[in-house]
Amino acid sequence: MANPTNFNDPLFLHMSDAPGMTIVSEQLTGVEDYGIWSRVMLIALRAKNKTAFIDGTGIVYSSDASTVWSDLKDQFDKVNGSRIFLIHRELGRLTQGNTTISVYFCKLKQLWDQYSSLVTLPSCECAAVRKYVEYDQQHRLLQFLMGLNDSICMFEAKY
């Protein structure tokens, strides 16, 4: 039974928690949106301290919910090569154009986030992963700079 004063207990129910309440607006409709749905759902469950219900860490019914979560992942977490291709093509074609730098950066960031939801890195802290993360950050910086208007790049190059 949950301790009514222990907010860290996953069984703790806040006043805003209600059965049948929708905690995310993103709906899982198929393979194409599993990555985004999964991230949104995990963020919502972390915010409510309820991830123990899906990660199998020993809550009373976690084995069932963990199995359901795993089955959802097996069913929908398919890397879609055509979507990855389309994201890369959009990234290659995206330029600042007549937008502000912040609008341009937000469009880039959205594409990078979509790509990251499809292709995840291992979560270890090994040197190879750190080097890949550094490479990825440098690659993103170069993508950003290459898409800037020439007048901005020329101005920055003078100084």
Looking at residue 102, what is its pLDDT? 93
Give ∠ CA 13-19-58 in degrees, rounded to 5: 55
One domain, residues 49 and 120:
no
Complete DSSP assignment for 4-73: TT-TTSTT---TT--TT----S----SGGGHHHHHHHHHHHHHHTT-GGGTTTSS-TTHHHHHHHHHHHH
One domain, residues 74 and 141:
no
Range(s) of the domain holding residue 132: 81-158
One domain, residues 16 and 54:
yes
Count of domains for the chain = 2
Better-scored residue on pLDDT, 93 or 71 = 93
One domain, residues 49 and 36:
yes
Q: pLDDT (tens digit, 9 = 90+) per residue, 79-124? A: 677 788 889 999 999 999 999 999 999 999 999 988 887 777 777 7
The model scores a pTM over 0.85: no
